[in-house]
Structure 1
C-alpha cells in the first residue's frame, strides 16, 4: 500500500499538492488506501475522466464515506460542546481571578481627595456639553455614579463636579426638550455653587424652555456664572433675578436672533448684583441697554455705541481687561474733550483705533487692534498719542484684520518694550499684507542689513478661517530669527482653524526648531479658534 501526495480541488477535481504521506485512520469499517499502478490510482492522480463502467465503482467508494463522516461529525460535535464547557469554565476562573486580584488594586487606596481631583479632569468642556443637546448618562459626572459604590459616594459628595449646568436648545432641534427636569434638580441638589449655561431657541416650544429656566432661577442665589442666549420669551423672566443673585461673578448675554430682542426695552436686573465683576454682552442685531454695576467691574466686553461705552468706562474703578467694540453708532466721533483714565487696565481690545483718542491706560501691557490697510497713518497717529498720554510700557501688540507691514514695523521699531507680536488675519484680502509682514520680519543674510524688532521674544500667527499664509516663508522667518545672534525669539505659534496646514517639509522644519528649544505651538480646528479668541482678550467659558 502506498499513499498518494497529490490532492484534487473539491470544486473541479484538478490536482494539487499537499496530501499527508499516510492516510488518517478511519476505523475498521473504512480503508481509504489506494494501491499504486491501479486504475483507481490513475484516476486519482490524473485529470482523466472515468469510463462508464468505472463510475459504479467510484460511486460506491464515495458512498462508503457517508457513515464514517457522520460518525466523525458526531464526535466533533461532542468535542465542540466539551470545548465550549472548558472555555466557559476558563472565563469564569479568569473573572474570579480578576475579581480577587482587584482586592489589591491601588485604586482602593487612593484617598477621596485624590479621586475628586481625577474626577474633575473627566468633566466635558462647555462646548462639548452644549453640543450634546442632552444630559449624557455615559458622560462625566453622571457615569462616575455607575462604576461602584465608592465612586458613587465620592462623586455625589463632590459639589464641584455638579456645578456646571449646560442646557442648549439648538436651532436644528424642533421637538420637545431632551433635558429632564428631574435630572437638573438632582444635579442642583448635589452642587453648592452653580455655573449656568442656558441657550434658548425661539423656534421651539417656549413653555419647555420657560419651565427649565424657572427651575434654575429658583436656585439663583447659588449662581456664580451665567452664560445665556435670550429669546423674547426668556428675557422677561430676568426681572425676577433682581436682588436674588448675590454670588454671580461672571455674566455673558447674547440673543437668539433678532427676534429675541423684540419687545425688550432694556435689562436692569444685574445692576444690583454685588459680586458681578466680569461682563460680556453680544448685541449683534441691535443695541439694547443693559444696566451694569460698572464701578465694580474688572472685565468688560460689549458691542454698543461709543456713548454707551463712555458712560460705562467713566464709572469703572478697577477695570483690568476690556474689549471695546463700537457698533450701532450712526453719529460721528465726538471731540475728545475728556480723557477717560483707566488706571488699572492691563489688557485692551478696540474695534477702531479712534477709540484710543479718548483713553489713558498707564498700566496697559497688552493692546489688540482691529485694523484695515487704509488705517495706516491714522492708526499710527492715534497709537503714538495714546502711548505718550498713557506712559505705559506695552509688552504685547495684537493685530486682527489687515496689518500693513510699514505700520507694524514702525510701531515695533519705535516701541522696544513690545516683545510679543500677535497677528490674526481672516480673509483673502489680507494675504498680501500678512506675507509681506512675515518677509519684513525675516532676518537677511546680507551684511549691514537692518533687523526689524530684534527684541521680539514671541511671534504668534493665526488664521480664523482658511489660511492664506506662505508657510515656507513663515518657517524661514522663524529660522532666521532663531539662529540670529542678536534676536530674542523664544516662543512662536501657528494656529489654523480651517483649511490645509503646512506641507510635510515645513512641518518637519517647524518641529526641528522645537527640538532645538523654540517654544512652539501648533493648533488647528476648534482648539485653534479658542486660542485665537484669547489672543484678543475675548472671554473663555470653558
Structure 2
C-alpha cells in the first residue's frame, strides 16, 4: 500500500494516523515540573521547550491539512448525495399517481386550493398564491390551470390593496364567467378604484356574481351597468359609509338582469330603494321597512330562502288578518319575529329569528300560530341575540319535527350569561322523579358565541352529557364555536372530548377557525 508521509510531522498522510501524537511527559522531569507549576523557566530550559512547541506546531499543521482534505471530501460527497437524492426524487415522481390524474380531477384540486374571500382580503395580492402558482409548476399543470376557467373567475378588489392592471386583464381573459368582489372605500383615493371598476365593467355581460361595498364615486358607474348584466345570478350590495348614500335616491341598475335569482341588500345607514326583478328571485336578504318587504314578498313567489331585516322606524305593525303565502320557501330568517303573523310557509324546513333581551313573552304564541297555520315540517330552529329558556322550551315542546337547534349570540353581559345558563339547565335531562325532558328528539345542538364568557361551560357540559347518556334522547352532534376569549377551562374541555371518544360527534373551535365554521352556516353568514 502506497502511503505518503507528511513533510511537516513525518506521519502518514494517507488517512488518520494509526498512532496518536505522544504528548505525555514523564513525572519527575524538569519538563513535567514546569508544566504543572508556576515555576519560572531557567535559560537551560528554553531549548527543549522550544523543541516541544516546534514538534506540536508541525503536527497541528499536518492535522489542519488533513481536516481540509476531509472537509473537501465531505463537501464533494454531500454534493453527490444531494444530486443523487434529487435525481431519485425526480424518477420517483414519474411513478406518483398524481401524474396520472385526469385533468378535470387536477383542476378540482386546484379549485380547493383557492383562498377564501376573507383570506384573500387579509393578504395582499401575490402571484405566488393560487391560482397563479399552478402556472409555474410544470407545463402540464399550467395547461390544466389555463384550461380551467373557473379557477380565474373570482376577482377580489380591495381599495386597501394594489393590483397590477395587466394581471387583472390576464385573469379576465382566462375566465369565462366572472365573480366580482369589489370592496370600495369612501376615504381612500377614488382614482384607482374608479379605474379598476371601469376595467371590470367592460366585461359586465360576463359577471355571474357581484358583491360590492359602494362609495359615492362609484354610483354613476353603477348606473351605467343597466341592461348589461345579462349573466348576473348573485348580487350583494352594501354601503361603505353613511356619506356613500348621501346623493342616492334609488338604484335601478339591476332591474333588467334576466338571470338574477340571489340578492342581498344591506342598508346599514338608511334605506335606499333598489329595483329588482323580484318575480324571478329564489333567495333574498333585504334591509327595508316592513311595507317594502310585503310588496316584494307578494310578487316573489319563487323564493326558497329569505332574510327579512326590518327597518322598523317605530312604525306600528299593520292591523290585518291577511297573510302572504310563500309556497316554496324552505329557509326563513327574521330580525323581528312579529313578522310571522303575516306569513304562511307550508314547505318551511328552517326558521330563524332574533331575540332581544327585553322581548315580551308572546314570541312562543307567534311561532306556534305561524307553524300551525303553515303546517310545515320545520326541522331546524335558529335563534340569534339573547335566546331565553322559556321561548326555546315552549317551541320545542310543541313541535317534535324540530331536531336541530342552533343558537348564536354576540351580546355580552351578565343578563345574557344568566339567560344562557338558565337555557342550558333547562335543556339538560333531569334525574328528578316526574320531570320531563325538553325535546328529546333533538339530534344537533349548535352554539355560536362571540365570547367564551357567554356562559358557564360546566353547565353546557352537563347539558350535553345528560342528553348523550339518556336512553330516550336522540343527541348525535354537539358543536361549540367561540370567536374570541380566553378559551374553555382544560377540565371541561377534557370531559367534552371524552364524550367524543364515546361516539358523540363533537366539534369545538375557537378564533378564526370558529369564524370560518360560522360562515359555513348560511344563515349566519348572511347575518340577521
TM normalised by structure 2 equals 0.90
Q: Deviations over 1:430-480 (max 9, x none)?
A: 100011010011112222222122222221111023432211111111111
- Aligned mate of 1:477, from 455, 460, 463: 463
After TM superposition, give the deviation of residue 23 of structure 1 in Å. 10
**1:164 corresponds to which residue?**
154
After TM superposition, give the deviation of residue 236 of structure 1 in Å. 1.6
Q: Is the 8 A contact 2:285 2:526 kept in 1?
A: no
1:108 and 2:99 are equivalent in the alignment: yes
* Counterparts of residues 91-240 of structure 1 (less than 5 Å): 91-134=82-125, 136-170=126-160, 178-240=162-224
- Aligned mate of 2:515, from 513, 516, 529: 529
Q: Secondary structure at the match of 1:464?
A: strand
Q: Distance in 1 between matches of 2:199 and 2:360?
A: 53
Q: Distance in 1 between matches of 2:64 and 2:225?
A: 79
**2:39 corresponds to which residue?**
50
**1:16 corresponds to which residue?**
none
Q: Is the 8 A contact 2:34 2:40 kept in 1?
A: no
1:434 and 2:420 are equivalent in the alignment: yes
**2:6 corresponds to which residue?**
none
Q: How large is the Cα RMSD of the aligned pairs?
A: 2.3
- Greater alpha carbon shift after TM alignment, 504-513 vs 241-250: 504-513
User: Structure 2: which 5+ runs fail to align?
Assistant: 1-16
Q: Distance in 1 between matches of 2:98 and 2:386?
A: 55
After TM superposition, give the deviation of residue 233 of structure 1 in Å. 1.0
User: Structure 1: which 5+ runs fail to align?
Assistant: 1-21, 171-176
Q: Is the 8 A contact 2:452 2:487 kept in 1?
A: no
Q: Distance in 1 between matches of 2:496 and 2:146?
A: 46
Structure 1 residues 107, 369: closer, same or farther in 2, change over 3 A? Answer: closer
- Aligned mate of 1:364, from 328, 348, 355: 348
**1:448 corresponds to which residue?**
434
**1:3 corresponds to which residue?**
none
Q: Secondary structure at the match of 2:523?
A: coil
**1:497 corresponds to which residue?**
483
1:90 and 2:77 are equivalent in the alignment: no
**1:288 corresponds to which residue?**
272
Q: Distance in 1 between matches of 2:92 and 2:478?
A: 49
Q: Distance in 1 between matches of 2:138 and 2:526?
A: 34
Q: Distance in 2 between matches of 1:503 and 1:538?
A: 26
Q: Secondary structure at the match of 2:38?
A: coil
Q: Secondary structure at the match of 1:61?
A: helix
Q: Secondary structure at the match of 2:396?
A: helix
Structure 1 residue runs of 4 or more that deviate by more than 6 Å after TM superposition: none
Q: Distance in 2 between matches of 1:533 and 1:146?
A: 32
- Aligned mate of 2:59, from 40, 43, 68: 68
Q: Is the 8 A contact 2:452 2:488 kept in 1?
A: no
Q: Is the 8 A contact 1:398 1:535 kept in 2?
A: no
Q: Deviations over 1:77-108 (max 9, x none)?
A: 24333432333333333333433444434333
Structure 1 residues 187, 100: closer, same or farther in 2, change over 3 A? Answer: same
- Aligned mate of 2:389, from 405, 430, 440: 405
Q: Distance in 2 between matches of 1:103 and 1:407?
A: 63
Q: Secondary structure at the match of 1:537?
A: helix
Q: Is the 8 A contact 1:398 1:536 kept in 2?
A: no
Q: Size of the alignment, in residue pairs?
A: 507
1:463 and 2:453 are equivalent in the alignment: no
Q: Is the 8 A contact 1:287 1:328 kept in 2?
A: no
After TM superposition, give the deviation of residue 230 of structure 1 in Å. 0.9
After TM superposition, give the deviation of residue 42 of structure 1 in Å. 4.3
